[in-house]
Amino acid sequence: MKACLLASLAGAAGLLLGAVAAHARADAASAAPPNLLDLRLEDLMQMTVTSAGKKAQRLDRTAAAIHVITAEDIRRSGATSLPEALRLAPGVHVAQIDANKWSVSVRGLGGRWAGQLLVLMDGRTLYSPLFGGVYWDVQDTLLEDIERIEVIRGPGGTLWGANAVNGVINIITRSAADTQGGLAYVRGGSHESEAAARHGASLGDGIHLRAYAKRTERDPHVLTDRMPYLGGRPTGAAGHDAHDGWGMRRAGFRLDNALGGGDRLTLQGDAYDGDIRQTAITVNPAAAGNALVADAIAADGANLLLRWQRRTAGGELQLQAYVDHAERRAAVLRERIETRDIEFQQRFSLGARQEIVWGVGYRGVAFELDGGYTVSFRHGRHDSALYNVFVQDEIRLRPDVALTLGGKFEHNPYTGTEPQPNARLFWQIDEQQGVWGAWSRAVRMPSRAELDFTLRLANVAPYTAIAFQGNPDLAAARLTAHELGWRRQFGDRLNVEATAFRYDYDDYISLEPLPGFPFSTTSEFRNLMGIRSQGYELSGVWQAGPDWRLRASYARLSIDARPRTGSADAYSPALIEGSGPRHQFQLHSNSRLRHDLDFDAMLYRVGRIAAGDIPAYTRLDLRLAWKPRRDVELSLVGRNLLDQRHFEFLGQDSVASEVPRSFLAELRWHF
C-alpha cells in the first residue's frame, strides 16, 4: 500500500483519519425492497397493494438520509468518472487531489486514505482491504450502464445489509435485458479522451448478455505551489505539468438469465489495466530528508461475480459469490490482493406487519505486500477471514408508523466479534409529510495497514526516520450515531428534505509518540481519540416546468476531536477537525430548451477546508446536448468555468495538483 506512504504530517494524519474500515459485506441493494421495475408483468400482477394504499404513496418512507443519483442525472452532469458523478449527491464531499486521485467523504473524515465509507458495485465491495479507502483510479464501469447510485449518509447498519460507518455508496448497473442494442461514443477535450462501445444481445428465452470495452487517456494537471510534505525537492516548477496523467483500458460483461419460477441468475465480470503517473514521496535509508520521484504505477485487476436470486411467496432469497484480484506496482510498494466473498440472504414477511431480512457472509482476503524502506510490512504475506451474520425486522406498528430493528455481528481475527445494532422509526404524518429518527452503532475496524505497517516520512539522519507504526493490538473504533429527518412534499412540484445528525466516535485512532533517544521519532497508532461531529443537510427539488427541474442542497458540518487521557497526540485533532468543509452548497438546473436540445448547469460552492488551509471555491459546470437524429447525440461540456484552476485537497503520499478549467465534446451513437 502505497497507501501508506505518506510523507508528511498532513499526510500522516490523513491516514490516521482514514483507514480502516469496515471490512464490510453484503449487497446493500438487495436488503432494500425489491426493485419493481425489474419484475415481469406476470409477477407485478401477483403483487398486492398496501391496504393503506388507496392513497398515493408519494413519500419515500426510508428511515435514513438517502439520495439516489439516477442514470439521467449522471448523463446530464457530463461526469466521466465515478467520483465526479458522486459530486451530484447532497452532503457528499468530493475533492480531487491530482488528476487520478480523489477524496470522497460523507459527514467528515475525508482524505485519500479515508476509510469509513462502504462502496459497492452490484454487491461487490470496491474499497481496498489494505487501507479501507477506494482507489478511485481503477474503480469504474461504463457510466451509461449504471442504473442508479444510492448514497446513504449515516451508518448503513443493517438497513442495507451492510456495515458502514459514515455512509454507503451503492452503485447498481442495469440488467443486461435493459441494455440491448449497440452504443458507441467518442469524447475528447482539453484534458481527456475516451472511446467506448457496448453491445447487448438476447441469447434466447430470457437470457441477455452485454459486453463493453473502453479506453481512457487523461492529461496531467498543473503542479501546485503548495508543499504539503516535509522537505523533498519538487520535480517541476509550480504552474507546470504535474506528472499525473493516466490511461486505463477496461472491458466487462454481464449475463442475466431469467430462469423459470422466479429465479434469476446473473454472471458478471470486469478486467482492467492501466498506467497511472504520480510524483511520489520516498525516503532513502542512507540520506537525510526525503525525495520526490516521478512514479509510474502499473495497475491491473479483474473480478467475477455470480448471483442467484429466487422470488418466494412473500420475499426473496439470494446467494452471491465473487472473486476479485487487484494488483498495483508503485515505486514504494507492490501489492497484490485476492478477495473471495460469499454471502446468503433472505427476506420474508412474518404475519401481515413484519418483514424480516437476515443473512450470513464470509470474506477471505489474501495480501502480498512487498514494500521497501519508505513503507514496509512486518507480515507482507497475510490471509484474513471475516464472518458476519445480520438480521433486521421492519415492523409496521400502525399503518403510518414503521419501526426497524436490526443487528449485525461481525467476527474478524484482529478485534474479535463486533456487534452493531440499530433502531429506526418512520412516521408518516400525512400524505405529504413524514419524519424519521434513528439510533445506530457502527464499528470501524483497523485496516491491514494500521495493524501492520511502518511508514517513514523523512529521515532526520541516515537510518533514523520520522515514522508511523502500525499496531497489531489496535481495537475497533466505535461510532454511536443519532439522526433525525423530515420530508415534505409541497403541491405537485416541490419536495423538501432536512436531516440532522450527531456522531460520537470512541476509541478512534490517534498517533502516540513512542519513547526514543534523544527524542521520539516514531509514533504508533493507538485508540485514544474521541470525536464528536454534528451537522445538518437541507435539500429540495423543484419541478419548475414540464422541462425544467431545479435542485438545491446545503450541508453543514462541524467536528470536535478530543484526545483521551493518556494521549500525547498533539496534531491529529486539528487534522480531524479540519478534514472537510464546514459548508457545502449546490444548485443544479436541468432543462430542455427544445425537443432536441438539453441544457444543464451545475453550481457548487465548497467552503474552506481547515487542514492545509484550502480556500473555498465555486465551481460551475455547463452541458449542452443536441440530438440531430433519434440515434445520435452530440454534447459539449465545460467544467470549472469560473477559474483557470483551483486547489481542492492536500496530497498525502504524493504531490497534489490543481484542478483546471476543462472542455469536452462527445458524440454518442445508438445502433
Partner 1 sequence: MPSRASCLTGLTLAAALAAGAPAPARAQVGEYELKAAFVYNFINFTRWPAGGDVALTLCIHGADPFGPTLDKLAGRTVGRRYLAVRRGVGLDGLAGCDAVFIAAPALGNLAGVLDSLGSRPVLTIADSPGAMRRGVLINMNRNEQNKIGFEVNLAAARERGLDFNAQMLSLATEVRR
Identity of the residue, 263 or 613, whose beta carbon is nearer to partner 1 in the bound complex:
263
Identity of the residue, 233 or 630, whose beta carbon is nearer to partner 1 in the bound complex:
630
Which of 60, 273, 275, 504 is close enough to bind partner 1 by CB under 8 A?
60
Identity of the residue, 632 or 642, whose beta carbon is nearer to partner 1 in the bound complex:
632
Q: Binding pattern to partner 1, positions 63-82, x when CB under 8 A?
A: -----x-xxxxxx-------
Q: Which residues in 159-178 contact partner 1 (CB under 8 A)?
A: 174, 178
Identity of the residue, 112 or 210, whose beta carbon is nearer to partner 1 in the bound complex:
210
**Does the protein bind partner 1 through residue 315 (CB under 8 A)?**
yes
Please answer whether residues 170 and 160 qualify as being in contact, where contact means their C-beta atoms are separated by less than 8 angstroms.
yes
Which of 139, 170, 179, 392 is close enough to bind partner 1 by CB under 8 A?
179
Q: Which residues in 426-485 contact partner 1 (CB under 8 A)?
A: none
Cα angle 257-356-36, degrees, rounded to a multiple of 5: 40
How far apart, in whole angstroms, are the C-alpha atoms of residue 89 and residue 411? Answer: 32
User: CA-CA distances (angstroms) from residue 349 to 84, 203, 353, 358, 404?
Assistant: 39, 35, 8, 12, 14
Please answer whether residues 490 and 496 qualify as being in contact, where contact means their C-beta atoms are separated by less than 8 angstroms.
yes
| Least distance CB 349 / partner 1 (angstroms) | 3
| Least distance CB 462 / partner 1 (angstroms) | 41
Cell readout for 334 is 507492490
Please answer whether residues 574 and 529 qualify as being in contact, where contact means their C-beta atoms are separated by less than 8 angstroms.
no
Pick the piece of the chain touching partner 1 (CB under 8 A) from 56-64, 372-380, 414-422, 474-482: 56-64
163-189 burial, b for 16+ CB within 10 Å, e for fewer? bbbbbbbbbbbbbbbbbeeebebebeb
Which of 284, 464, 543, 591 is close enough to bind partner 1 by CB under 8 A?
543
H-state helical runs in 329-462? 448-452
Beta bridge partners of 596: none
Q: Which residues in 377-396 contact partner 1 (CB under 8 A)?
A: 383, 385, 387
195-211 burial, b for 16+ CB within 10 Å, e for fewer? ebbbbbeeeeeebbbbb
Which of 545, 558, 642, 667 is close enough to bind partner 1 by CB under 8 A?
545
Which of 213, 366, 496, 552 is close enough to bind partner 1 by CB under 8 A?
366
Which of 204, 205, 286, 492 is close enough to bind partner 1 by CB under 8 A?
492
Which of 259, 350, 568, 642 is close enough to bind partner 1 by CB under 8 A?
350
Which of 87, 107, 124, 148 is close enough to bind partner 1 by CB under 8 A?
148
Identity of the residue, 142 or 529, whose beta carbon is nearer to partner 1 in the bound complex:
142
**Does the protein bind partner 1 through residue 493 (CB under 8 A)?**
yes
**Does the protein bind partner 1 through residue 54 (CB under 8 A)?**
yes
Q: Binding pattern to partner 1, positions 569-608, x when CB under 8 A?
A: --------------------------xx------------
| Least distance CB 343 / partner 1 (angstroms) | 7
Burial class (CB in 10 A: 0-12, 13-18, 19+), 108: buried
Instruction: Give the DSSP H or E segment for 502.
Output: strand 494-513
What's CA 67's distance to the chain center, in Å? 13
Pick the piece of the chain touching partner 1 (CB under 8 A) from 37-45, 215-223, 373-381, 613-621: 37-45
Identity of the residue, 225 or 596, whose beta carbon is nearer to partner 1 in the bound complex:
596
DSSP state of 447: P
H-state helical runs in 530-586? 572-577
Pick the piece of the chain touching partner 1 (CB under 8 A) from 31-39, 121-129, 329-337, 506-514: 31-39
User: CA-CA distances (angstroms) from residue 81 to 99, 113, 130, 168, 352?
Assistant: 11, 19, 23, 18, 44
Identity of the residue, 33 or 472, whose beta carbon is nearer to partner 1 in the bound complex:
33
| Least distance CB 393 / partner 1 (angstroms) | 13
How far apart, in whole angstroms, are the C-alpha atoms of residue 363 and residue 365? Answer: 7
| Least distance CB 257 / partner 1 (angstroms) | 18
| Collapsed DSSP state (helix, strand, coil) of residue 85 | helix
- Torsion 607-610-611-612 (CA) sign: positive
- Short-list 557, 657, 655, CA closest to 11: 655
| Least distance CB 50 / partner 1 (angstroms) | 5
| Least distance CB 256 / partner 1 (angstroms) | 14
